[in-house]
Amino acid sequence: MSIQSDICIIGGGAIGKAAALSLARAGMQVSLVSPATSATKPASGDHWDQRVFALNHVAHGLLSSLKVWEAMDTTRIAPVDAMAVHGDGASAGHIGFDAYAARTDTLAWIVEDQNLNQALDSALKFANDLHIIQGTATQLHTDEHHAAVTLQDGTHIKASLIVGADGAQSWVRSKADIGIDYRAYNQRAIVANFSCENPHHGVASQWFLGEQGIVALLPLPGSRVSLVWSAPDKLAETILQEPPEQLCQRLAQLPGQTLGAFTPLPPTKPQSFALRFIRAGAMVANRVALMGDAAHVVHPLAGQGMNLGFGDIDALLAAVVQRDQATDCGDTRTLARYARHRKEEVLLMQLTTDGLQRLFDTDLAPLKVLRNLGMTALDKLPFFKRRMMTHAVGHSVSSTTSRSFSSN
């Protein structure tokens, strides 16, 4: 079978699906290639997906324009109204952020992976100019005028642009000969959900604990929280072997936490995944664009990994829609505009997350004092705090285009 498209997207995750919907809505003929998977089943009742995302305003705006946000179960989405960040040791620093100071209604929204993907899957069924193909890509060819992908079953897809949204181990990135910078953090992210004795009031809390890693408790609806503990490998192994009640006790002992006692929510056994830093040598190649984890993987301490992917979609959408209509969507200048739009934001987030992880990964006493003093000092500088939050909240480069889509 032979298929002709403007854009062929490789990758069946949330970023690939959202990119396919956005570009098809913009008038592109899109093919989405993803592995065969069973239908996404939403979590229900007191079963909460252990993988959650803190989505910023760019992600919210894009998903709203696609009618995906409204299709999610909004009773399972929690707004983040404030953040409280704690240092470590006897001289623990503290810094707080809130939506009012950031001049916005909310800082972010906590969304379950299953909730998001089910809404995306539903939207894909009704999308025009979008061809969904389940299969595995085995060959990639690009030249001056076009690109082509061949699947394992012999299906041939010809397009002007190939988008790699196929994750950290990206096949597209490899076939396009784009190298990476890679570093293992020797940490694992432990994720689990809990009900808590006291209300969280929409506050996301984070503790930098030195040799014990970084703990984040994100608000879920009701008196529930989602845990992301970036723990050194040895500690992670210990925590994963302990009964869930022991993890509850560890959380109850966090300095300054006000949530009281914790009770594990089903599934009660925590999950974990290895943490690493990945930076692609380039976000584009000849008729190829990378996005999401295929282009950049950052430490989860800032909760911005998924948001970077939605920022990629937003920037590629802007570059494609605003291109010279005499050129195709894989034109060199179009891809250069996409890469230029993303360069500053991605680099800043990579430097910030990697730098903070390195800074708090050491237990040298002088550094502990300095970093805690720095946090406390920054907390007294509202201008700089507002600038930080404005960046984290996000700014769309295709907001006008997105608004016009949502009205169609």
The rounded distance, in Å, linking the Cα atoms of 6 and 26 is 12
Q: Kindly list the distances between the CA atom of residue 349 and the CA atoms of 305, 352, 366, 392, 400, in Å, as whole numbers in the listed order.
A: 9, 5, 26, 9, 25
Q: What angle do CA 11, 352, 231 make, to 5 degrees?
A: 75
How many domains does one find in the chain?
1
Q: What is the CATH number of the domain that holds 311?
A: 3.50.50.60
Residue 158 forms part of a structural domain: yes
Q: Give the CA count within 13 Å in the CB-facing half-sphere of 398.
A: 32
For residue range 303-321, what is the model confidence (pLDDT) as tens digits?
A: 899 999 999 999 999 999 9
Query: For position 395, what pLDDT does the model report?
Result: 66
Predicted confidence band at 180 (pLDDT cuts at 50, 70, 90)? very high
Q: Kindly list the distances between the CA atom of residue 1 and the CA atoms of 67, 147, 157, 252, 309, in Å, as whole numbers in the listed order.
A: 32, 16, 8, 58, 31
Helix ranges (DSSP H) in 42-169: 57-65, 113-125
Helix then strand then coil, in percent of the chain rounded to 5, is 35, 30, 35
Residue 372 forms part of a structural domain: no
Residue 324 forms part of a structural domain: yes
Q: What angle do CA 21, 27, 30 make, to 5 degrees?
A: 50
| Least confident span in 3-12, 95-104, 271-280, 350-359 | 95-104
Provide CB contacts within 8 A for 337, sequence distance 6+: 318, 319, 322, 323
pTM above 0.85, yes or no: yes
For residue range 322-354, what is the model confidence (pLDDT) as tens digits?
A: 999 889 999 999 999 999 999 999 999 999 888
Q: Pick from 189, 277, 168, 278: which is nearest to 232 by CA?
A: 189
- Contact yes or no for 337/324 (Cβ under 8 A): no
Q: Is the pLDDT of residue 396 over 90?
A: no
Distance of CA 209 to the CA centre of its chain: 23
Q: Give the CA count within 13 Å in the CB-facing half-sphere of 380.
A: 5
- Contact yes or no for 61/70 (Cβ under 8 A): no
Sign of CA dihedral 282, 306, 38, 125: negative
Helix ranges (DSSP H) in 253-325: 305-321
Q: Which two tokens stand for residue 192?
A: 């689990």
Residue 84 forms part of a structural domain: no
Predicted confidence band at 295 (pLDDT cuts at 50, 70, 90)? very high
Give SS3 for 83.
Answer: strand
Query: For position 338, what pLDDT does the model report?
Result: 98
Residues 270, 353, 173, 165, Cα dihedral to 10°: 60
Q: Strands of 120-210 (E only): list them.
A: 130-134, 137-142, 147-151, 156-159, 161-164, 180-196, 203-208
The rounded distance, in Å, linking the Cα atoms of 109 and 58 is 11
Mean pLDDT in residue range 294-306: 94
Backbone angles phi, psi at 227, to 5 degrees: -95, 135
Q: Is the pLDDT of residue 405 over 60?
A: no
Provide CB contacts within 8 A for 134, sequence distance 6+: 33, 34, 35, 36, 37
Provide CB contacts within 8 A for 325, sequence distance 6+: none
| Least confident span in 101-110, 117-126, 272-281 | 101-110
Residue 394 forms part of a structural domain: yes
Query: For position 97, what pLDDT does the model report?
Result: 82
Provide CB contacts within 8 A for 233, sequence distance 6+: 186, 187, 188
Residue 218 forms part of a structural domain: no
R_g over Cα of the chain: 22
Predicted confidence band at 281 (pLDDT cuts at 50, 70, 90)? very high
Q: For residue 344, with 0-12 CB atoms within 10 Å meaning exposed, 13-18 middle and 19 or more buried, which class applies?
A: exposed
Mean pLDDT in residue range 186-196: 98
Long-range contacts of residues 402-408, Cβ cutoff 8 Å, at least 24 apart: 402/61, 402/62, 402/65, 402/314, 402/317, 403/65, 405/22, 405/25, 405/26, 405/65, 405/66, 406/64, 406/65, 406/66, 406/67, 408/25
State the DSSP H helix or E strand holding residue 94, giving kind and residue range, or none if neither. Answer: strand 94-98
Residue 224 forms part of a structural domain: no
The rounded distance, in Å, linking the Cα atoms of 125 and 120 is 9
Q: Is the pLDDT of residue 73 over 80?
A: yes
Give SS3 for 154.
Answer: coil
**Domain range for residue 126?**
2-43+51-77+107-182+278-361+385-406
Residue 38 forms part of a structural domain: yes
